[in-house]
Structure 1
Amino acid sequence: MSYDILVCGDFYVGPHAGGRLDAVVANKEYALLFGELYEDLKASNLSIVNLEGPVVSSGNPSPKTGPVISMKPLVMEALLDANINLVTLANNHIMDFGIEGFKETLTRLDESNLNFVGAGLSKTAKRKPFITEIKSKKIAIINVCEHEWISDSNSESGANGVDVIENFYQIQALRSTTDFIIVIYHGGNEYHPLPTPDMKKIFRFFVDAGASAVIGHHTHTFSGYEKYHDCPIFYSLGNFIFDSNKKSKGENWNTGVAIGLNVINDQLDFQIIPFLQNDKEIGIKKLKAQALQDFEVKLKKYNEIINDDQKLQEEYNRFAGKMGLQYLAFINPYEGKLSSLFKKGILPSVYSKKKILLLLNLIRCESHKYLLEHILKEKIKKH
C-alpha cells in the first residue's frame, strides 16, 4: 500500500544481533530482508527508519558501558533499494565508534544521497529539521533522543539530545513556515511497553507547542498510542529490523509496528501496521488472523493504561520494582561476579540511608545534577 509517509522503528543489521541478516544483505536479497513491508516502503513518498548505529568499514569502539554496535557499508544499498529516503540518527548508538565513526557514517549517507536528521558535527547541524513537501504541504521532521551516549566527549558533535525548552521554540518557529511538524523521539525504558509518566507529559507538550504527531522508538517493544488535541502520539514502534538470537530480549522484541501517515487536507490520517520481524524466519510478516487479534488485545490494554494517569504510574512503579536491584548494582562499587552476588542479596549495599538520600538529592536537584554532570565530564577527560 502507498502512504505519504511511512515511519518505522530501529534498524540494525550486524553481528551483535546474531548475524543472520549480514548474509542476506551481502547477497542483496532485499525483498527477503524487508519482507511484506518491502512494497509499502518502495511505494511511499517518504520512508523513515531509525539507523541504530554507525555505518563503518572499521574503527575503534567508544569507551562506554553496554553494547557497542555498528553496521557494514553494504546496508546503505539495502536502505536505498527499499526507498528508505530518510534516516533518524538521534539515538544512543550512533556514537558507538566515536567521532571518526560518526564522520564516516555522515560521509556515507551524503555519498548515497540518503537524507538524515537528528545528528551533526555542530549544535546547529544536529538540531536542523528535515523539511520536505508532499501534496503541496510543507512537512518538517524533528528528531531528538534522550541523553544516553549521544555525543563525543570532547566536542559538540553527536546526536540531538532532547531539550524541551529549545524544542518548544523550534516547533513554534516552524509553525509559521510549515504545515505539519512530526517529532520523532528516541527514548524510554528498554523492554517496558509503556511510556514513563514524564514521557507522556513531554510528548503531549510537543503537541501543545504545535507538533502534528509525535512518534517514539528505542524500547525494543511496541507501546500504545493516543490522540491528544486530535494529534496522534505513538509512544514506541518497537523494532523494525533487529535480529536477535537471545531469548531474554523480551516478549515483544520481534513484534513491531510501522505508522503510515497520509496528508488529508489539514490533517494527518494514520494507519498502524503491526508485523513480526525475524522470528523463526528471516524477514517481516504483517500480522494476520490470531496473531493480529493477540496484538490488538495488547494494544488496547496499553492504550487504556496510557489514558489513565494513575494506572500508568502504578505500572511504572511495578516496573521500577523489578529493576530495583539492577539499578542499585549500578551505583554500588561491585563489578562482574561481585555484582551478580549483590543482586542475589549475598553482598550488602555499601551505602547508608543518609548516603542514599544524598545521592537522590544530587540527581533530583537541577543545580546539583548539572554540577555533578560537569565534574564527571571533566574527570573523564583526564582518564
Structure 2
Amino acid sequence: MKITIFGDICPTKDTQAAFDRGDRESIFGDTFREIESSDIVIGNLECAVTDQPKPIQKAGPVLYTGVQSIQTLKDFDILSIANNHIRDCGDEGVMTALETCKKLGIRTLGAGKSMQEARKPLVIEKCGIKIGLMSFAEQEFNIASDIRPGACYLDLYDDFDRIREFRKTVDYLIILYHGGIEYFPYASPELSRKCRKMVDCGADLISCQHSHCIGTIEQYNGSTIVYGQGNSVFGYRDGDNSWNRGLLLQVEFQKAGSSFSSLFTYKGMVATSKGLRWMSEDASENLSNELKAREQLSQNRVAVQKEWDKFCDSLGKIHLPLLLGWPKILIAINRRTDNSLIKMFYGRLAYNNTHNLIRCEAHREVIDNLLSKKDFS
C-alpha cells in the first residue's frame, strides 16, 4: 500500500483557469502519475470554497475558490482543511468546502460544522493495515467553535491525550500540522516541542505544512517529523526558488503475516509556469545535502536557537510596528530604516509592558478576549 501526501494546494491567478476547466494533468504535471499509482492520496486544501464570496474582516490575504475548481481534486481520497484560510469567507466558505468534497467522494479532515466535528480523526483500513489521520491548525481567524464551523486547533490540554488514545486503535498514525512560522527552514523551539510531544504520544509521521518553504526532516524516537513540506500547488513565482519548491511525501507499507513494515520517502518537486515538475538530478542532490545539513544542525539546540534569534530579528521590523497598530506608511519607513522608528519611539518600559501582556498566560487571555470582540465599547 502506498500513501502519497501533498502539501498546500490553492488555486492562484496563474492556475485558476486550469482548475476551472478541471485540467488535472496540467496542474499536477509530473506528479500526476503518482496520484494515479497511489492507493491513498492526501492533500491540504488551503482556501475557502464558495461561488458567492463574502470575505471576513481579518489580517492577511483572503483565499477562496469556486465550487467547480474542486472537481480538479477528485482523484484525492482525503483533503485536510485545517488551515489558516478555511474561514476566509465565513461559515459559507467552510460548509461549501465540506459539502463539495462530500459530493465528490473526498473525505475531509481537520474542519467541520463545529469544533466537535472538526476534531474527529479519520481511519483508513487497507490491506489489513489501519492508518490513523489527525489534522490541526494554528489559531488565526480560522477556528471552529461549539456553534461555528471552522478548523481544529491543537489544544495542549486535551489533544496530546487524544493522540495517545487514538494511536491505540490504529497501526500507524499520520498527523498533519498546519503551523510554524513562514519561510523559516528549521523548527522553532515551540514547534519542535509540540511535534516531539506528538511523537511521544504515538505519532509515526508528522508533516508541518503552511511555512511555504521546505524545512528540516528530523528522525525522532523512531518517527519522522517534516518541519515544512513546502508548497505543492500554490502558484509559480519567477525567481523565488524557496516558494516554488516542495516535497511529495510517501509512505509504503508491506504486510508480512500479522506484522507490517513501513518506508518513508520524499521527492522534490518544483512549480513551473507549466505545472509541477520533478526536481532535476542536480537539484535533488542539492536538496538532499541541504536536508542532511539542517538535520545535523538541528541536533544542536544552541545553534538552532541562534538561527531562530536571527530570523526573529529580521521580522522585528514588521512585527513590532504591527503589534503597535502602526499604519502601513510607518511600517514601511521603519522597515527601510532598519527599525529606527521603533528604536526612537518605543522605549524600554513600553517593551516590558508589551512583553508582559503577551508572555503572561493570564494577561494574554484577557488580550485575546478583548481583540476577538468586534465592538470594543
TM-score range, shorter chain: over 0.9
Instruction: Quote the residue 1:122 is aligned against.
Output: 114
Residue 10 of structure 1 is aligned with which of 5, 8, 21? 8
State the SS of the aligned residue for 2:207. Answer: strand
Q: Tell me how far apart the structure 2 counterparts of residues 226 and 68 of structure 1 sit (CA, whole Å).
A: 32
State the SS of the aligned residue for 2:228. Answer: coil
Q: Per the alignment, do residues 152 and 199 of structure 1 end up closer, same or farther by CA in structure 2, a change over 3 Å counting?
A: closer
Using the TM superposition, give the Cα deviation of residue 274 of structure 1 relative to its aligned residue in structure 2, in angstroms: 0.7
Q: Per the alignment, do residues 94 and 354 of structure 1 end up closer, same or farther by CA in structure 2, a change over 3 Å counting?
A: same
Using the TM superposition, give the Cα deviation of residue 245 of structure 1 relative to its aligned residue in structure 2, in angstroms: 4.2
Q: Tell me how far apart the structure 1 counterparts of residues 22 and 99 of structure 2 sit (CA, whole Å).
A: 22
Residues 242-257 of structure 1 mapped to structure 2, 5 A cutoff: 242-245=234-237, 250-257=240-247
Using the TM superposition, give the Cα deviation of residue 333 of structure 1 relative to its aligned residue in structure 2, in angstroms: 3.5
Q: Per the alignment, do residues 268 and 164 of structure 1 end up closer, same or farther by CA in structure 2, a change over 3 Å counting?
A: farther
Instruction: Quote the residue 1:375 is aligned against.
Output: 370
State the SS of the aligned residue for 1:225. Answer: strand
Q: Tell me how far apart the structure 2 counterparts of residues 169 and 64 of structure 1 sit (CA, whole Å).
A: 32
Q: Tell me how far apart the structure 2 counterparts of residues 160 and 146 of structure 1 sit (CA, whole Å).
A: 8
Residues 174, 204 of structure 2: 8 Å contact kept: yes
1:186 aligns with 2:185: no
Q: Per the alignment, do residues 72 and 227 of structure 1 end up closer, same or farther by CA in structure 2, a change over 3 Å counting?
A: same
Paired amino acid for 1:242 = F
Note the residue ranges of structure 2 that are not aligned, 5 or more in a row. Answer: none
Using the TM superposition, give the Cα deviation of residue 267 of structure 1 relative to its aligned residue in structure 2, in angstroms: 4.0
Q: Tell me how far apart the structure 2 counterparts of residues 169 and 333 of structure 1 sit (CA, whole Å).
A: 38
State the SS of the aligned residue for 2:131. Answer: strand
Residues 98, 152 of structure 1: 8 Å contact kept: no
Q: Tell me how far apart the structure 2 counterparts of residues 282 and 166 of structure 1 sit (CA, whole Å).
A: 44
Paired amino acid for 2:108 = F
Residues 261-272 of structure 1 mapped to structure 2, 5 A cutoff: 261-264=251-254, 265-272=259-266
1:96 aligns with 2:88: yes
Instruction: Quote the residue 1:51 is aligned against.
Output: 45
Residue 270 of structure 2 is aligned with which of 254, 276, 284? 276
Note the residue ranges of structure 1 that are not aligned, 5 or more in a row. Answer: none
What are the Cα deviations for residues 26-77 of structure 1, in whole angstroms up to 9, with x where unaligned?
A: 3432212111110111221111111010111122111011111111222221
Using the TM superposition, give the Cα deviation of residue 7 of structure 1 relative to its aligned residue in structure 2, in angstroms: 0.8
Q: Tell me how far apart the structure 2 counterparts of residues 233 and 267 of structure 1 sit (CA, whole Å).
A: 18
Residue 354 of structure 2 is aligned with which of 342, 350, 359? 359
Q: Tell me how far apart the structure 2 counterparts of residues 369 and 162 of structure 1 sit (CA, whole Å).
A: 18
Instruction: Quote the residue 2:249 is aligned against.
Output: 259
Using the TM superposition, give the Cα deviation of residue 109 of structure 1 relative to its aligned residue in structure 2, in angstroms: 1.5
What are the Cα deviations for residues 60-118 of structure 1, in whole angstroms up to 9, with x where unaligned?
A: 111011111111222221111xx211011110011110112211211211222211100
Using the TM superposition, give the Cα deviation of residue 347 of structure 1 relative to its aligned residue in structure 2, in angstroms: 3.8
State the SS of the aligned residue for 2:28. Answer: helix
1:201 aligns with 2:184: no
Give the total of aligned pairs. Answer: 370
1:72 aligns with 2:72: no
Q: Tell me how far apart the structure 2 counterparts of residues 161 and 26 of structure 1 sit (CA, whole Å).
A: 31
Instruction: Quote the residue 2:157 is aligned against.
Output: 165
Paired amino acid for 1:357 = N
Taking structure 2 as the reference length, the TM-score comes to: 0.93
Q: Tell me how far apart the structure 2 counterparts of residues 48 and 166 of structure 1 sit (CA, whole Å).
A: 26
